[in-house]
Structure 1
Amino acid sequence: MRRFFILIFIVLSVLSFAVSISIPVGPTVVAFSGLLGKKVSGDVEIKIDFWRTLDQVNAQIVAKNVDLIVLPVSIGASLYSRGLDLKLAAVIMWSGFYIVTKDLGKVDLKDLVGQEVYTPQGKGQTGDVLIRYLFERIGLKPDNDVKIRYATPPEIVSLMSAGKIKIAVLPEPYVTLAMRQAKASIAYDLQQLWSEHTGLPARVPITGVFIVRVLDKETLHKTLTAVEKSLKYAVENTREAAALSSPHLGGIPVEVVEESLTRTLYEYRPASEIVSEVIHYLSITQQVDPSVMPSLPDEKFFTF
Structure 2
Amino acid sequence: MKCKRVLSAVMAAALCVSLAACGSTASSSQAASTAESAASSAAAEPAASPETAAGGLRVAGLKGPTTMGLVNLMDSEDGADYSFTMYGAADEIVPLLVKGDLDAAAIPANLAATLYQKTEGAVEVACVNTLGVLYILENGESIQSVADLKGQTIVTTGKGTTPEYVLRYVLTRNGLDPDADVTIEYCSEATEALSQVQAGMANIVMLPQPFVTSALSQVEGLRVALDMNEEWEKVAGSQLVTGVLVVRKDAAEADPDAFAAFLDGYAASVEAANSDLEGTAALCEEYGIVAKAALAQKALPECNIVFETGEQMKTDLTNYFQVLYDADPASVGGALPGDDFYYGV
TM range (shorter): 0.7 to 0.9
Partner of 1:5: none
Match for residue 197 of structure 1 among 231, 235, 257: 235
Determine if contact 2:90/2:107 at 8 Å carries over to the other structure: no
Deviations 1:128-169 (A, max 9, x none): 332121133333236995345254445554564455654433
Over 3 Å counting, the alpha-carbon distance change for 1:302 and 1:233 in structure 2 is: same
Deviations 1:19-48 (A, max 9, x none): 221111223232122134x1x332762222
Question: For 1:158 and 1:119, how far apart are their aligned partners in 2?
Answer: 12
Partner of 2:315: 276
Partner of 2:208: 171
Task: Tell me by how many angstroms 1:179 deviates.
Answer: 0.5
Determine if contact 1:88/1:271 at 8 Å carries over to the other structure: no
Partner of 2:126: 89
Deviations 1:205-239 (A, max 9, x none): 33211003622212211222221121121112011
Identity within the alignment, %: 18
Partner of 2:94: 58
Over 3 Å counting, the alpha-carbon distance change for 1:302 and 1:81 in structure 2 is: same
TM-score (norm 1): 0.78
Question: For 2:180 and 2:77, how far apart are their aligned partners in 1?
Answer: 47
1:110 aligns with 2:150: yes
Determine if contact 2:274/2:301 at 8 Å carries over to the other structure: no
Question: For 1:290 and 1:143, how far apart are their aligned partners in 2?
Answer: 24
What pairs with 1:135-146 in structure 2 (closer than 5 Å)? 135-137=171-173, 138-141=175-178, 146=183
1:262 aligns with 2:283: no
SS at match of 1:206: strand
Deviations 1:241-276 (A, max 9, x none): 12322574553x544432333334333122455323
Give unmatched runs, 5+ long, in structure 1.
1-13
SS at match of 1:55: helix
Give unmatched runs, 5+ long, in structure 2.
1-51
Partner of 1:3: none
1:79 aligns with 2:115: yes
Question: For 2:188 and 2:141, how far apart are their aligned partners in 1?
Answer: 22
Q: When the two structures are aligned, how many residues end up with a matched partner?
A: 281
Question: For 1:235 and 1:109, how far apart are their aligned partners in 2?
Answer: 32
1:242 aligns with 2:281: yes
Question: For 2:72 and 2:212, how far apart are their aligned partners in 1?
Answer: 23
Partner of 1:300: 340
SS at match of 2:78: coil
Over 3 Å counting, the alpha-carbon distance change for 1:55 and 1:264 in structure 2 is: closer
Task: Tell me by how many angstroms 1:82 deviates.
Answer: 4.0
Partner of 2:82: 46
TM-score (norm 2): 0.70
What pairs with 1:115-154 in structure 2 (closer than 5 Å)? 115=153, 117-119=155-157, 123-125=160-162, 127-137=163-173, 138-141=175-178, 146-147=183-184, 149=186, 151-153=188-190
Question: For 2:115 and 2:183, how far apart are their aligned partners in 1?
Answer: 27
Deviations 1:44-92 (A, max 9, x none): 6222222333422332333232111111222211332344632101112
Task: Tell me by how many angstroms 1:177 deviates.
Answer: 1.5
Determine if contact 1:86/1:211 at 8 Å carries over to the other structure: yes
Determine if contact 1:74/1:124 at 8 Å carries over to the other structure: no
Match for residue 229 of structure 1 among 243, 268, 272: 268
Question: For 1:292 and 1:110, how far apart are their aligned partners in 2?
Answer: 28
Q: CA RMSD in A?
A: 3.1
Task: Tell me by how many angstroms 1:284 deviates.
Answer: 1.4
Task: Tell me by how many angstroms 1:279 deviates.
Answer: 0.8
Letter in 1 for 2:338: D
Over 3 Å counting, the alpha-carbon distance change for 1:77 and 1:191 in structure 2 is: same
Over 3 Å counting, the alpha-carbon distance change for 1:291 and 1:105 in structure 2 is: farther
